[in-house]
Amino acid sequence: MMGFFKRIKANKKPGIGRAKDTFVIVGLGNPGAEYAKTRHNMGYRAIDILAESTGIDIRKPKFHSLIGQGRLAGRKLILVKPETYMNKSGIAVREAAMYFDVPSENVIVIYDDIDIPAGAIRIRKAGGAGTHNGMKSVLSELGTQDFPRIRIGVGAAEEGEDLIDRVIGKVPKEEQAVLDKAAADAAAAAEDIVRLGIEIAMSRHNHK
């Protein structure tokens, strides 16, 4: 299936992507209490922190997600927590991007990454999905790699550790504090992208 942004380009449909002052920020995760504190739900955790700092209520069901709307630095902000489960996250991202008429550079996706040390974050303007199934779905549905993402490091699986257990298994108590700080750092990075632009946000956060 041709992705959303590819379809728009191919059809030359007017009006799509005109909302330059609107940002859709999506945190990837799985719904349900059993996943709440797992490494795979770092996107959700960052969105919750961002919602608190901006005073946005994210309890409205829409786009196969829970969403909330508000403003930040004079720009419209849409916070999205897909409820499709991770492997179909792209459906929610595409629906929100289409509805709010945003260009791809105003879609910010936050997610966990096993290839980054636990507690670190990285901002990228574009790129592939790596091994992350949620991002594979997002790239497939949007039809482009050209959108910002904030990757939250959760660390690689240890020797003999199953990858699935790594991302959705129980996290030791001492590591939760590290992940909480990383989620807060990711939320701050998302705010900086909106307020200051991605170049400044990258220079502020990627060296940490």
Task: Give per-residue pLDDT as tens, 114-142.
Answer: 999 999 999 999 999 988 999 999 999 99
CB-count burial class (<10 Å; 0-12, 13-18, 19+) for 46: buried
- Would the pLDDT of 74 be above 90? yes
Q: What is the pLDDT of residue 11?
A: 46
Positions marked catalytic: 40
Question: Span 4-11+28-205: which CATH code?
Answer: 3.40.50.1470
- pLDDT average, residue stretch 92-102: 95
Side-chain half-sphere exposure of 101, counting CA atoms within 13 A: 9
pLDDT band for position 158 (cuts 50, 70, 90): confident
What is the pTM assigned to this prediction? 0.91
Q: What are 178-196's pLDDT values in tens digits?
A: 999 999 999 999 999 999 9
Which DSSP symbol is given to 160? T
Q: How far apart, in whole angstroms, are the C-alpha atoms of residue 96 and residue 34?
A: 26
CB-count burial class (<10 Å; 0-12, 13-18, 19+) for 39: buried
